[in-house]
Amino acid sequence: MSKNSTCPVCGAPTQAATRPFCSQHCADIDLGRWFSGQYRIPGPPADEENLEKPERNDER
């Protein structure tokens, strides 16, 4: 990564502590975009029949 990299959210110069972002605020904006589905990793839709179901642990 070059020393002159810019924040992917706002374009400001990055800071070492929050790289690749310029601030914690921009890092939080980016995380919110992932959580809301604005960012997606391309691929075929998941087939619900093939998804692993979590195991229930009824031992209490």
Q: How far apart are CA 25 and CA 41, in angstroms?
A: 23
| DSSP letter assigned to residue 14 | P
- Residue 47 marked ligand-binding: no
Q: Is 6 in a helix, a strand, or coil? A: strand
- Residue 7 marked ligand-binding: yes
- Residue 26 marked ligand-binding: yes
Known binding-site positions: 7, 10, 22, 26
Known binding-site positions for Zn(2+): 7, 10, 22, 26
